[in-house]
């Protein structure tokens, strides 16, 4: 290669890098402008600043929540237990529903790639796309008020996450144990039990524990749609304008979430 050709090639590389750098910085500028536009459209232009008032009015509004309702504390234990049990039962039911959905939605074990696999993936997407409050509204209208609609809503919301992670874990297994079991005449159940389940078990258990931890938070607000638990108590305090009671319920929810964090941490260390 001649010196002129070498110089031309170096110039082309330098020009290409300069162009890529310019495109990258232009992208940063466009992203920054989009963020500014979003802030203006969603916060500045869409906020009722006259109603918001000044700092003094904001502090007065916040000050309403600065105390707790001591008399409400003895009445919170039952809703706390109900909220905790909703999370446990909802997660457990979601696990049972997730098993066939994950089996359908795992490409390497699904019974039918043309029919069953899309159905499994659709159920995963449907579960994750609908918020737990919407699931709660659906089941409250179907089965009435109480903890049952909350359990069903949490179960349906849990299916998408648990089944998706499980299906992806099945798709990423080492195929050698599966091939060895099939080579010695193992049936589908033996392949699943001895070749697949041991490989995905740590991932599945970790996912279930994580989902249970999240469901404690979800169950705390299910009462806002009539599904019982601390959320229902929170809603009652709000409609009665009992601001100290609202603060007391918030502290109860915080205590329950901290308990869930502690339990999930201990179980994760013991099992995984």
Give tens-digit pLDDT for 44-95: 777 766 666 667 766 777 777 777 878 888 888 888 888 888 888 989 999 9
Q: What was the pLDDT predicted at 41? A: 80
In this prediction, residue 3 has a pLDDT band, given cuts at 50, 70 and 90, of low
145 vs 154: CA distance, rounded Å = 15
Same domain, 21 and 83: no
Rounded to 10 deg, the angle between the 147-171 and 77-105 helix axes is: 40
Same domain, 134 and 246: yes
Torsion of CA 90, 94, 97, 100, to 10 degrees: -170
- Answer with the residue of higher pLDDT: 268 or 230: 230
Residue 33 has pLDDT above 90, yes or no: yes
Residue 187 has pLDDT above 90, yes or no: no
Q: Which of 245, 264, 234 is nearest to 83 (CA)?
A: 234
Same domain, 93 and 159: yes
Same domain, 82 and 18: no
The domain in which residue 11 lies consists of 3-47
Is residue 7 a part of any domain in this protein? yes
102 vs 111: CA distance, rounded Å = 12
Q: What was the pLDDT predicted at 30? A: 92
Same domain, 83 and 26: no
Q: What is the mean predicted confidence (pLDDT) over 112-135?
A: 87
Q: What is the mean predicted confidence (pLDDT) over 201-230?
A: 81
Assign residue 237 the CATH number of its domain: 1.10.3720.10
Same domain, 149 and 255: yes
Same domain, 113 and 31: no
Is residue 62 a part of any domain in this protein? no
Is residue 14 a part of any domain in this protein? yes
Q: Which of 122, 125, 94 is nearest to 219 (CA)?
A: 94
Same domain, 127 and 23: no
Note the pLDDT tens digit of each residue in 238-261.
888 888 888 888 888 888 888 877
Is residue 52 a part of any domain in this protein? no
- Answer with the residue of higher pLDDT: 142 or 270: 142
The verdict on pTM exceeding 0.85 is no
Q: What was the pLDDT predicted at 1? A: 58
Residue 115 has pLDDT above 90, yes or no: no
Is residue 142 a part of any domain in this protein? yes
Region of residue 144 (left: phi > 0; alpha: psi -120 to 50; beta: else)? left
Residue 98 has pLDDT above 70, yes or no: yes
Same domain, 23 and 98: no
Is residue 125 a part of any domain in this protein? yes
- DSSP SS3 for 155: helix
Note the pLDDT tens digit of each residue in 148-170.
888 888 898 999 889 999 888 88
Same domain, 164 and 224: yes
Note the pLDDT tens digit of each residue in 126-147.
888 888 888 888 888 888 777 8
In this prediction, residue 7 has a pLDDT band, given cuts at 50, 70 and 90, of low
Is residue 67 a part of any domain in this protein? no
Residue 264 has pLDDT above 80, yes or no: no
Same domain, 37 and 155: no
Angstrom distances, CA of residue 102 to CA of 11, 62, 119, 160: 54, 46, 11, 9
Q: What was the pLDDT predicted at 34? A: 92
Q: How many domains does the chain divide into?
A: 2
110, 171 Cβ separation under 8 angstroms? no
State the DSSP code for 193: I
Same domain, 40 and 171: no
170 vs 207: CA distance, rounded Å = 14
| Mean pLDDT, the chain, whole residue set | 82
Is residue 108 a part of any domain in this protein? yes
Backbone angles phi, psi at 146, to 5 degrees: 120, -170
């Amino acid at each position: 290669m001649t010196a002129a050709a070498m110089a031309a090639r170096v110039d082309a590389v330098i020009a290409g890098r300069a162009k890529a750098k310019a495109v990258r910085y232009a992208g940063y500028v466009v992203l920054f402008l989009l963020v500014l536009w979003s802030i203006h459209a969603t916060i500045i232009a869409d906020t009722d600043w006259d109603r918001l008032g000044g700092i003094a009015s904001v502090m007065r509004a916040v000050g309403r929540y600065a105390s707790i309702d001591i008399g409400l504390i003895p009445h919170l234990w039952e809703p706390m237990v109900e909220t905790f049990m909703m999370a446990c039962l909802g997660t457990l039911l979601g696990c049972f529903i997730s098993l066939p959905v994950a089996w359908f939605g795992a490409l390497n074990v699904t019974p039918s790639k043309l029919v069953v696999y899309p159905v499994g993936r659709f159920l995963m997407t449907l579960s994750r796309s609908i918020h737990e409050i919407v699931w709660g509204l659906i089941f409250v209208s179907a089965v009435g008020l109480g903890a049952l609609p909350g359990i069903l809503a949490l179960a349906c919301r849990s299916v998408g996450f648990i089944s998706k992670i499980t299906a992806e874990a099945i798709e990423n297994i080492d195929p050698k144990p599966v091939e060895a079991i099939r080579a010695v005449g193992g049936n589908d159940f033996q392949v699943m039990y001895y070749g697949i389940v041991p490989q995905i078990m740590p991932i599945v258990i970790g996912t279930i524990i994580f989902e249970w931890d999240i469901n404690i938070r979800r169950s705390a607000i299910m009462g806002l749609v009539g599904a019982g638990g601390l959320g229902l108590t929170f809603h009652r305090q709000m409609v009665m304008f009992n601001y100290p009671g609202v603060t007391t319920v918030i502290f109860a929810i915080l205590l329950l979430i901290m308990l869930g964090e502690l339990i999930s941490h201990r179980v994760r260390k013991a099992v995984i």
